[in-house]
């Protein structure tokens, strides 16, 4: 029996941080694990949204500590924010429409459907990605860094797992680079819907799932995790189990200052870094099972 009652809109908080653009990505990396999403940036303001149910005195204290840490690392700065209640909407709509063509690597170009390709893009791998409140458009350093390592380590016939897939940009790239099978996982409903749309738009064979499938040890030759330090650390043993003997784990969503904590977390896990690349303050690593060439 169907109902004509309309679903009540979710309540959200919109927080506007007064922070210069060069430091905004660093703040985004700290806000994402706290439940913030829908980031919108301009020169002096970062706007982020949070479900109202997540706001608490504890979260406010954590947020104050994050900002205090940024101020301490950037002497002479002072950051503030304002907060208001809003209804559910596509927070990134304005930004989505302005997104342009990104030359992610020397071979890979990312574009939304409303942008035309350039003559210089002829012969390159084109990823048609429309963002809808999900991460992964090529504008962020971690996406580009992940694509550089993916391009290097994916071989024809590889089995690929993409954790926290966002727009599915990395999964689609893996498929177009010759992967035999690709599984994209994300627990965010916006990301799942957007990923499926992008997979269809790119005519690639990628399975988009809401949770990690039951898989045998060694099921994947390449595992991608462009998320954040805490989530990557929590999943290290799972990644080790699922990675094939000669496979590669690509981790990003990491700041250079996260490397010490990551190296400590890797002790006893059986994974060792074989390559680290960086852009600005962001890094991506390729890791192999310890003892493997």
pLDDT tens digits for range 123-153: 899 898 876 544 555 567 888 999 999 999 9
Question: Do 46 and 153 belong together in one domain?
Answer: no
Confidence of residue 183 (pLDDT cuts 50, 70, 90): very high
Residue 89 has a pLDDT of 55
Q: What mean pLDDT is reported for the chain?
A: 85
Q: How many domains does the chain have?
A: 2
Question: How far, in Å, CA of 236 to CA of 107, rounded?
Answer: 30
Q: Is residue 148 part of a domain?
A: yes
CA atoms within 13 A of residue 83's CA, in its CB half-sphere: 10
Strand-pair category, 220-226 with 159-163: parallel
Residue 261 in tokens:
């904590």
Provide the b/e sequence for 159-176 (b: ≥16 CB within 10 Å).
bbbbbbbbbbbbbbbbbb
CATH number for the domain spanning 22: value is 3.30.70.600
Q: Is the pLDDT of residue 1 over 60?
A: no
Residue 133 has a pLDDT of 47
Q: pLDDT tens digits, residue range 188-242?
A: 887 898 899 999 999 999 999 999 988 899 999 999 999 889 999 999 999 999 9
Which residues, at least 6 apart from 120, have a Cβ–Cβ distance to it below 8 Å? none
Q: Is residue 153 part of a domain?
A: yes
Question: Do 101 and 30 belong together in one domain?
Answer: no
Q: Is residue 5 part of a domain?
A: no
Residue 88 has a pLDDT of 58
Residue 70 has a pLDDT of 86
Question: Do 174 and 190 belong together in one domain?
Answer: yes
Question: Do 112 and 82 belong together in one domain?
Answer: no
Question: Do 69 and 165 belong together in one domain?
Answer: no
Question: Do 66 and 174 belong together in one domain?
Answer: no
Residue 9 has a pLDDT of 47
Q: Is the pLDDT of residue 163 over 70?
A: yes
Residue 75 in tokens:
């002497």
Q: Is residue 238 part of a domain?
A: yes
Q: Is residue 101 part of a domain?
A: yes
Question: Do 100 and 245 belong together in one domain?
Answer: yes
Question: Do 119 and 27 belong together in one domain?
Answer: no
From 39, 61, 91, the end of a domain falls on 91
Question: Do 129 and 225 belong together in one domain?
Answer: yes
Beta pairing partners, 289? 271
Q: Is residue 191 part of a domain?
A: yes
Question: Do 119 and 202 belong together in one domain?
Answer: yes
Residue 11 has a pLDDT of 80
From 91, 124, 142, the end of a domain falls on 91
In this structure, is the dihedral angle defined by the CA atoms of residues 4, 5, 9 and 10, taken in order, positive or negative? negative
Q: Is the pLDDT of residue 8 over 80?
A: no
Q: Is residue 6 part of a domain?
A: no
Residue 138 has a pLDDT of 55
Q: pLDDT tens digits, residue range 25-72?
A: 788 878 888 888 777 777 788 888 888 889 999 999 999 999 998 888
Beta carbons of 129 and 112 less than 8 angstroms apart:
yes
CATH number for the domain spanning 236: value is 3.40.50.150
Question: Do 171 and 76 belong together in one domain?
Answer: no
From 40, 73, 91, the end of a domain falls on 91
Q: Is residue 119 part of a domain?
A: yes
pTM, two decimals, is 0.70
Place of tokens 């999900």: 134
Question: Do 81 and 125 belong together in one domain?
Answer: no
Question: How far, in Å, CA of 129 to CA of 252, rounded?
Answer: 20
> For the chain, what's the residue count?
293
Q: What's the chain look like in SS3?
A: CCCCCCCCCCEEEEEEEECCHHHHHHHHHHHHHHCCEEEEECCCEEEEEEEHHHCCHHHHHHHHHHHHHHHHHCCCCCCEEEEEEEECCCCCHHHHHHCCCEECCCCEEEECCCCCCCHHHCCCEEEECCCCCCCCCCCCHHHHHHHHHHHHHCCCCCEEEEECCCCCHHHHHHHHCCCCEEEEECCCHHHHHHHHHHHHHCCCCCEEECCCCCCCCCCEEEEEEECCHHHHHHHHHHHHHHEEEEEEEEEEEEEHHHHHHHHHHHCCCCEEEEEEEEECCEEEEEEEECCCC
Question: How far, in Å, CA of 174 to CA of 147, rounded?
Answer: 9
Q: Which domain holds residue 152?
A: 95-289
């Amino acid at each position: 029996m169907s109902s004509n009652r309309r679903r009540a809109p979710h309540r959200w908080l919109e927080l506007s941080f007064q922070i210069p653009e060069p430091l905004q990505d660093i703040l985004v990396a700290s806000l994402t694990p706290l439940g913030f999403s829908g980031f919108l940036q301009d020169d002096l303001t970062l706007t982020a949204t949070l479900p109202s149910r997540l706001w608490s005195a504890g979260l406010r204290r954590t947020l104050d500590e994050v900002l205090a840490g940024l101020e301490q690392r950037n002497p002479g700065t002072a950051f503030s924010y304002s907060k208001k209640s809003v209804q559910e909407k596509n927070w990134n709509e304005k930004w989505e429409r302005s997104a342009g063509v990104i030359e992610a690597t020397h071979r890979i170009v990312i574009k939304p459907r409303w942008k035309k390709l350039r003559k210089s893009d002829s012969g390159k791998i084109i990823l048609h990605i429309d963002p809808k409140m999900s991460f992964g458009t090529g504008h962020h350093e971690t996406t580009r860094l992940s694509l550089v390592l993916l391009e290097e380590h994916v071989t024809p016939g590889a089995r690929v797992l993409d954790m926290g897939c966002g727009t599915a940009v990395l999964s689609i790239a893996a498929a177009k680079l010759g992967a035999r099978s690709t599984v994209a996982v994300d627990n965010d409903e916006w990301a799942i819907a957007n990923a499926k749309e992008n997979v269809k738009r790119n005519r690639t064979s990628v399975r988009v799932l809401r949770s990690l499938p039951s898989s045998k040890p060694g099921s994947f030759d390449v595992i991608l995790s462009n998320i954040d330090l805490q989530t990557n650390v929590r999943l290290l043993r799972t990644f080790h189990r699922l990675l094939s003997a000669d496979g590669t784990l690509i981790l990003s969503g990491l700041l250079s200052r996260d490397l010490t904590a990551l190296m400590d977390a890797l002790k006893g896990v059986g994974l060792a870094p074989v390559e680290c690349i960086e852009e600005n303050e962001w890094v991506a690593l390729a890791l192999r099972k310890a003892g493997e060439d």
